[in-house]
Structure 1
């Protein structure tokens, strides 16, 4: 059995790979980060075959290179965890345009690009499981993370629609929707000096998020809010809370601590 995990060098992707290795899957792990090699050694220590793909998934060439390496294995993909993503924090009028366009390329374009290959292969075989990492932010009004939240809403919508399209093919689709999680996401997004980046991320641990995501995947659920109780409650209430209220809640968590 073979599983593909993108963004596997750290955080939720790393824990997804660990959990899949424990479940008996050989792995293809992809990341542009230097930590991938060390992570892959950890996965191999769990007794699985592991292929490292050091690729930049924010580029079409990077996605193509990853898929070529997968095809060269000659082994069908049983599970695909399309997880790679980044964030950019700050007021939209102040944030860097190039950083946000790169984020859209990684979070949205590469997700569609890789999913196209995965879905074609899985539907041809009549079986497979796909897990998309979205976010609770995909259902929120998210000032100071406006573009990031929009990318995750895109992924969530795509996952739900694709699930419906594939309902009679033997291929299942699940959306993983974490809340703030204790990873380096907020540091990379430039949000260390915020309440959510310094305190809120401790609400969930990445291993718990990964386990809940895979449990939902193998149970063939459409989505899961993971992993804290607060995230689950926010998810259940997301469509009932007025947008202005959701925006005010997110603004309080995402603005710099030294800003009044």
Structure 2
């Protein structure tokens, strides 16, 4: 029986790399993103699998539930949910636009939580399914100059790890992908391409493949890259005040 994966933020970056990986393995796809034209182009590209496109801006309240309702309306049963959509902003909290920051919280936290809630219920009923939530190495420490973004990713990691324990008696898995700087359009949107943190950005296809393989093997947390792993481990043991200072340093210009 052909399986189906839903991917948010599917038109570029990690999202599109996930599209390639799932399509290669013969998954039917439900692709969610804002840009309907690009979604249609992707649909025409992958003729070997069934592709359902849903054009929604998940930073808008209520959009996540509308996605779920559309999937139900079409009678689609999900085997995999990839919560990939998200964005960040560089700058001091009180100097950034508050509405953009609230949109970030809506997308990075609320939409991810809602989609997980709706589709997890179905997966538990079948006692089968995989969820991949994309966080970041930002999840492991406070992040001055990207304070809200770092906080949203800390939520994603904590939330996902808690679900792992709640689902320990089931066959449903939850995996959190925590990449460091990655070569996607995230850098340009967040305005961080010229910062120290992006000086060693990893290729998006490598990051996506590691996340995909880790999810398929049921891993709990995946940190991509040796330096990122060292940084994540170091953040656990150093004083949080020091971790915050380091994060502020790497958010500075090269």
Q: Could you list the structure 1 runs, at least 4 aligned residues long, displaced by more than 6 angstroms after superposition.
A: none
Partner residue of 2:26?
Answer: 24
CA distance in 2, matches of 1:60, 1:251: 31
2:237 matches 1:234 = no
How far did residue 72 of structure 1 move?
2.7
CA distance in 2, matches of 1:23, 1:232: 28
Whether contact under 8 Å (1:136, 1:235) holds in the other structure is yes
How far did residue 191 of structure 1 move?
2.5
Cα-Cα RMSD? 1.6
Of 2, 5, 9, which residue of structure 1 is paired with 2:4?
A: 2
Partner residue of 1:117?
Answer: 118
CA distance in 2, matches of 1:217, 1:135: 15
Partner residue of 2:247?
Answer: 250
CA distance in 2, matches of 1:184, 1:200: 15
Aligned ranges 1:1-260 → 2 under 5 Å: 1-33=3-35, 35-42=38-45, 44-45=46-47, 47-197=48-198, 199-201=199-201, 204-226=202-224, 228-256=225-253
SS at match of 2:110: helix
CA displacement 1:124-167 (0-9 Å, x = unmatched): 11110000001110102211111000000011111011111111
How far did residue 38 of structure 1 move?
2.9
Whether contact under 8 Å (1:90, 1:255) holds in the other structure is no
CA distance in 2, matches of 1:238, 1:171: 29
CA distance in 1, matches of 2:235, 2:217: 23
CA displacement 1:40-98 (0-9 Å, x = unmatched): 334x15x1111111101112332122112211332310011011111111111211111
**5+ long unaligned stretches in structure 1:** none
CA distance in 2, matches of 1:174, 1:192: 27
CA distance in 1, matches of 2:135, 2:73: 29
TM-score after normalising by structure 1: 0.91
Whether contact under 8 Å (2:83, 2:133) holds in the other structure is yes
SS at match of 2:213: helix
CA distance in 2, matches of 1:249, 1:3: 37
**Mean Cα displacement is larger for which, 173-182 or 242-251?**
242-251
CA distance in 2, matches of 1:156, 1:167: 17
Whether contact under 8 Å (1:19, 1:211) holds in the other structure is yes
CA distance in 1, matches of 2:157, 2:177: 9
TM-score after normalising by structure 2: 0.93
